[in-house]
Amino acid sequence: VMPVFPVLPVLLGLCMCLGPAAAATPLVIWHGMGDSCCNPLSMGYVQKLVEKKIPGIYVLSLKIGSTLIQDMENSFFMNVNDQVREVCSQLAVDPQLRGGYNAMGFSQGGQFLRAVAQRCPSPPMLNLISVGGQHQGRVYGFPRCPGESSHICDWIRKTLDLGAYTQAVQEHLVQAEYWHDPLKEEDYRKNSIFLADINQERGINETYKKNLMALKKFVMVKFLNDTMVDPPISEWFGFYKSGQAKETVPLQETSLYKEDRLGLQEMDKAGKLVFLGVKGDHLHFSEEWFDTTLLPFLQ
């Protein structure tokens, strides 16, 4: 997660109508906590990388709110279900996306885009790339804070400690909505208004399962030296063994996979799940790694 600077919004996709290269599959990206759509050091940088390597591609960097400051603040304080609904509306009315699109989410943006895939199949998401997304949630974490938001994170830590699963906190604090405490599994399953829903913790929504399984590829990137996500294996859909916070299990050993509540087992057997590891801390990667490892999924 990068620091946020008050920059002017980037005009997206200006070259999409020039020449035959415009046939490239569009890309939708969603930033992480404390970031914004058009930060030149983060999402703006990624957008330029993609546009340089895939001439003519249409890139939509999602902005939640009317300004960059609102976009950043909403990454902390806007109910995730409302954010997902807003994004689904944006995608539905964008004529460039009618034929389908690829999606790339960074940190919490990865799990939010998975919710879009599960809840909003039109227009169709073709490939989903989750870069450090916490698909089984985050616990105890928050050792670091993005950018200039340290005072916000200090407050969030205290709030999560006091009552992550109270209704007021769930409704108004994004990070609480994917707070997964292995010592309070019942509280999590009962009261998590976002993650427990999209992870089928309270029953099987067959539509969620069907929609996710429609993806061609679901790529999950784990940062091997991550100090921000706890446990890092959440980025590969693994988590702590229930009832303790020391020993972790991979996705394939979770009940979510064994019971195939989300279709991940079937997707895995069909070769649709891709697990990538990259050296470095949370969201730290090189342009060379991005070009050689992630770009092929967009072409």
Active-site annotation holds for 282: yes
DSSP for 195-218, please give it.
Answer: HHHHTTTTS--HHHHHHHHT-SEE
Residue among 71, 181, 197, 226 flagged as catalytic: 226
Residue 283 tokens read as: 């969201």
Please give the biggest Cα pair distance in the chain. Answer: 57
Q: Phi/psi zone of residue 54: left (φ > 0), alpha (ψ -120 to 50 degrees), beta? A: beta
**Count of other CB atoms within 10 angstroms of residue 130:** 28
Angle at 157 between CA 155 and CA 158, to 5 degrees: 65
Q: Where are the alpha helices (DSSP H) in 120-233?
A: 150-163, 167-172, 185-191, 195-198, 206-213
Residue among 42, 61, 107, 234 flagged as catalytic: 107
Residue among 31, 135, 180, 282 flagged as catalytic: 282
Please give the positions annotated as active site: 107, 226, 282
